[in-house]
Amino acid sequence: METILHSRALLCCLLLLASVAVAIKDGTSSNACDYPGLAVVLSTKDAVICNAVFLSSNQFIVPEICGAAMNTFLKKSALKLSYNQVPVNITIPVGTLGVLGDGVYSFTLDTPIQNSCSSVARVYDSKTMTLDLTTCQVVGYGAATSSSKIFDGVLNAAAVNKSASSSCCLAIWDSLTKTEKGTTYKDASYNCLTSTGATCGTGDVGAPVYCKTDSGERVLTALTSSTPCVGGGMFLAHDLTAGATDFKFGY
């Protein structure tokens, strides 16, 4: 019963946020082909649910708030995934269920994506990669106005100029405001980030944080989990770096 109530609460949060879905505030228009694995989850009527990232041709991940809501939706209705600069849509069939692990849901499709303009995402590995910390960006989809919740293909990116690291984010957890935390839970790995823009509404839930390596490859480091919509303010993201201590800058 507790799990059902939790999922319903997350679904209600997403539906409320959907009425104010906007793209990343103060971001710049960007090309989806430049961001490996990037996709967006939509309702059958093209309402933005959240961002997603493909880690393989048939597996994608989303943050907990989105994955729990998707599981609820998918019991009764199909959803869609859209990817590419010129959008390509595929169906997520009724009955598809995501699996939760450390605050991130993983979904597996029966049919792999095809004709993608970019490769699938590679997650940052501190043992084999070195990040150029001046290149980190948060990238998100959303509608063109704050009153809309319909996908229009607009993708915005903003520089990430501060990263506390997952260990420091945990240390300051109790000092974070409700706005900064959003609907996140302490029992997952988060990073506390600051951007030149702001993550806002469902259009930016799950917005991936990419950084380039010293070889120029753009790799995945986090998924946005809170969207306070405060320019230059702190937001939370699910840490995908296995707590890498070198993903810390600006502090």
Q: How do residues 37-76 score in pLDDT, each as one tens digit?
A: 999 999 999 988 999 999 999 999 999 999 999 999 999 9
Residues 65 and 154 in one domain: no
- Tally the domains of the chain: 2
Judge if 178 and 225 occupy the same domain. Answer: yes
Residue 120: HSE in the Cβ half-sphere, 13 Å Cα cutoff: 12
**112 token code pair:** 């792999």
Asked if residue 114 is part of any domain, the answer here is: no
Same domain? For 141 and 207 the reply is: yes
Domain boundary among 108, 141, 161: 108
Beta bridge partners of 141: 155
Domain that holds residue 181: 131-247
Residue 153 falls inside a structural domain: yes
**E strands of 164-244, at which residues?**
190-195, 208-213, 218-224, 234-239
pLDDT class of 142 with cuts at 50, 70, 90: low
Tokens standing for residue 196:
């030149």
Residues 200 and 135 in one domain: yes
Least confident segment among 114-128, 144-158, 182-196, 211-225: 144-158
What CATH number is associated with residue 77?
Answer: 2.40.10.10
> Is residue 10's pLDDT more than 70?
no
